[in-house]
Structure 1
Amino acid sequence: MWKNKNVWILLIGEFVAGVGLWLGIIGNLEFMQALVPSDFMKSLILASGLVAGIAIGPWAGRITDRLKKKTVMLAAGFVRSISVCFMFVAIHNESVLWMVVFLITIQLSAAFYFPALQAAIPLVVQEKDLMELNGVYMNVSTLSRIGGTAAAGALLVVISLTMLYLASLIAYMALFILTLFLTIKEENPRQKHNSTEEMETSFRDVFPVIKRMPIVYMTLTMAVIPLLFLGGFNLMVINISEIQNSAEIKGVLYAAEGTAFMLGAFFVKWISQKQSHYHILFFCSFLVGASQLLLYFAHIPVITILAFILFGFAVGCFFPSAATIFQTKVPKEFHGRFFSFRNMLDRVIFQVVLIMTGAMLDIIGLSHMAVIIGIVSIMTTVMFLIVFRRNKEEGNMEVSRAG
């Protein structure tokens, strides 16, 4: 796998683009902090781009399945680069409206790029290498997040906001150039069909596929469990910092979770050789629930750090396993629509959890919220484990290990 140039292009591209993305995110927060006093208005502004991405999702999925994946990635990368120009206008005019245009445009490009990327990964490596590549890819993404946020914080001290977005633009352009060198062996979807009618695809076609594949449906639903923690991640970190009256704990928690995530994503390939993907999912879901319950003791720094380490390791194993199941079990001709649907679902759940977390923190506090969410996560995992074993006994689910 490591001799495959496409693997290196994808990994280097993800790191470069990830740094650019987080430079832009920190820039967004800095820009809004200067012009938008209301936290509620800030959330609405950020949500505008996410809503646009969700709205275009069905069409993005259909397009991804009807065109070559490299073509979709290049087009989305070009639009993402152009979107930064709107932010230059926003800064020059001190206009929040132009920032909204920027957010909408960049989220529209993401709605096309990420489903195409997920659909392209199984086309560049053999199935036995998918778990390892998914794990390494997520580690690179985590490193880009750490590097991007650290770089943005340091750069804002010495350069202007405009120059920060220029650095982000350069990163996006570098990703576009790298994508040009991808060599993906795939038939042109248009050549598979003899008529226009046969070429017509509907986004709704993906739902019967999910319904007739219990393991895909189960994995898709279980992916909600980590999102119950991730959706309110930043709010919980801020709340823990206030409970412990420590500004330093925020950096410690981010570092602990990020390091544990990378360890999980690194070891998941070895774990998958001994256990099936599905057993990994169940075990990691239990770990997520346990990490949430530990936050009942959020006033104790050591236990709080342990909770974030457990969560980081769990999701570091969970997400590569889930991605591998989706890439191998869902038919390739549905990958674009499926990953677009998953992207839409994650965005919606993330926003709902974010709002729910904020409300629960205000009403009942972190400790009680942690217990409620932890119990829900564990009970949901137990329920799916029972269903899984029943379906396995009836022969409705195939249990396999990564090669």
Structure 2
Amino acid sequence: MWRNRNVWIILTGEFVAGLGLWLGVIGNLEFMQEKVPSDFIKSLLLAGGLVAGIAVGPYAGRLTDQISKKMVMLISGFVRIISVIFMFIAISTGSIWWMLVFSVLIQTSAAFYFPALQAAIPLIVADRELLQLNGVHMNVATLSRIIGTALAGVLLVALPLSMIYTGSLVAYIILFILTCFLNIDEPNTKQALSTETKKAERMKEESRLEKTSPQEKTSFKDVFPVIQGLPIVFMTLLLSLIPLLFLGGFNLLVINISELQESSAIKGWIYTAEGISFMLGAFMIKQISSKSSPYTILFSSAFLIGLSQFLLYLANIPIITIIAFVIFGFSVGCFFPTAATIFQTKVPKDFHGRFFSFRNMLDRIIFQIVLLITGFLLDLIGLQLMCALYGGLTIIMTSIFYLKNKQEIKQNNHNIPAKKEKGIST
């Protein structure tokens, strides 16, 4: 895998793009802090870009399945570059509306780029290398987040805001150039559609898909019967919602823990502990997967996430807080690469664009819902009771999914004719 030029291009591009992204995020927060006094208006401005990304999701998924993944990545990369220009206009005019245009374009380009990237990864490495690459890819993204936010904080003190976005623009230009050098061996679209659709038909046994031609299988809705027909994908998709209960209100949790402990330093310790443990989990997932099944990893990680939430009932104790975020970081570091590998290997490749676009939309919607609920519960019952509630909900959901999965496995085994036993009895 490490001799594959495409792997290095993908990983380097992810690191550079992450730096540009987090420079822009911190720059946006600084700009809004100067220009927008209302927190509610700030939240609406941030939500505007996310809504735009959700709106174009179905089209992004169809386009990714119809044309070259590399072409989709190049187009979205070019849009990113153009979007920064609008932020320069916003800074020079002091207009918040130009910043909104920037946010919409950035989120729209991301809605195209990330499904195309997830669909491209299985095309550049063998299936046996996917789990390792997904783990390394997420580690690179985490590292770029840590460095990008720290770099933005330093630059804001020493340089004008426009220089932050200059750094972001340079990063996006480098990403665009790197993408040009990708060499993805993509099969002919029509041939891929017919071949992979036959595989999907056998797996989900849907007569509707059997009667439609490959050219007609370009609707975004066609991905839903595929998901329903693949139990492992459907269950993994449901389990993927569990980490969002924690991640959706992550920043609000950190702020409230800092206020509870009356310590600003604890915020830095939390982010550092979570980031390092996440990278450790993603690094060790290859070794863990050789000893455990993907479902064992997913269910164990989900239970540990629930445990970390329960521990935050004692969030007034600094050492318990750090332990909770270490457990959470390691759990999601194991969870996300495993889930991504299941999706990339089990979902037919000609549905990858639509599937990853749908997953991206689902994550954004759930993330926003959890964020609003977290803010409401923090005001209503407080941090510690809310964490206990979330922990209980996580454990209950995981237990239900686990029992359901165990029951399905038992039914499948029961349906297999026991010919050998009959032979013995006779």
TM exceeds 0.5?
A: yes
Instruction: State the secondary structure of the residue aligned to 1:395.
Output: helix
Unaligned runs of 5+ in 1: 397-403
Deviation at 1:188, TM superposition (A): 3.3
Distance 1:104 1:270 in 2: 40
Distance 1:143 1:370 in 2: 27
Q: 1:296 maps to what in 2? A: 313
Identify the residue that residue 281 of structure 1 maps to in structure 2: 298
1:8 aligned partner, one-letter code:
W
- The corresponding residue for 2:23 is 23
Does the CA-based 8 Å contact 2:192-2:350 persist in structure 1?
Answer: no
1:54 aligns to 2:54 (yes or no)? yes
Query: Post-superposition shift, 1:157?
Result: 1.2
Root mean square deviation, CA, Å = 1.4
**1:205 equivalent in structure 2:** 222
- Verify: 1:270 aligned to 2:287, yes or no: yes
For structure 2, the residue ranges without an aligned partner over 5 or more in a row are 195-211, 414-426
User: Shift of residue 210 of structure 1?
Assistant: 0.5
Number of the residue aligned with 2:98: 98
Q: In structure 2, what is the equivalent of residue 375 of structure 1?
A: 392
Please say if residues 67 and 190 of structure 1, whose CA atoms lie closer than 8 Å, have aligned partners that are also in contact: no
- In structure 2, the CA distance between the partners of 1:175 and 1:199, relative to structure 1 (3 Å rule), is farther
Give 2:339's aligned amino acid.
Answer: A
Distance 2:190 2:178 in 1: 26
Report % sequence identity: 64
Structure-1 residue corresponding to 2:267: 250
Structure 1 counterpart SS, 2:316: coil
Residue 77 (structure 2) aligns with: 77
Distance 2:161 2:190 in 1: 44
Asked whether the equivalents of residues 45 and 100 of structure 2 are also in contact (C-alpha less than 8 Å), the reply is yes
1:233 deviates by 0.3
Matched to 1:100, the amino acid is L
How far apart in 2 are the matches of 1:19 and 1:188?
A: 34
Flag as ranges the 4+ runs of structure 1 deviating above 6 A. 193-197
Q: What residue is the counterpart of 1:400 in the other structure?
A: none
The letter for the 2-side match of 1:287 is: L
CA distance in 1, matches of 2:278, 2:145: 12
Determine whether 1:152 maps to 2:152: yes
Partner of 2:231: 214
Partner SS, residue 394 of structure 1: helix
Q: Distance in 1 between matches of 2:264 and 2:56?
A: 39
Give the match for residue 401 of structure 1.
none
Using structure 2 for the length normalisation, give the TM-score: 0.91
Say if 1:389 and 1:34 are closer, same or farther in 2 by CA, change over 3 A.
Answer: same
- In the superposition, the TM-score normalised over structure 1's length comes to 0.96
CA distance in 2, matches of 1:224, 1:293: 18
Structure 1 residues 378 and 82 mapped into 2: Cα distance closer, same or farther (>3 Å)? same
1:2 is paired with a residue whose SS is coil
- Is contact 1:65–1:333 with CA below 8 Å preserved after alignment? yes
CA deviations on 1:344-364 (whole Å, 9 max, x unpaired) are 000000000001100100100
In structure 2, C-alpha distance between the alignment counterparts of 1:339 and 1:197, rounded to whole Å: 20
Q: Deviations over 1:324-348 (max 9, x none)?
A: 0000000000000000000000000
> Aligned partners of 1:106 and 1:309: how far apart in 2?
31
- 1:5 is aligned to 5
The corresponding residue for 2:43 is 43
Quote the residue 1:189 is aligned against: 189
Is the radius of gyration larger for structure 1 or structure 2? 2
CA distance in 1, matches of 2:124, 2:403: 36
Q: Does structure 1 conserve the Cα–Cα contact (< 8 Å) formed by 2:15 and 2:143?
A: yes
Instruction: Indicate if the aligned counterparts of 2:190 and 2:215 stay in contact, CA closer than 8 A.
Output: no
SS in 2 for 1:274: coil
Q: How many residues align?
A: 396
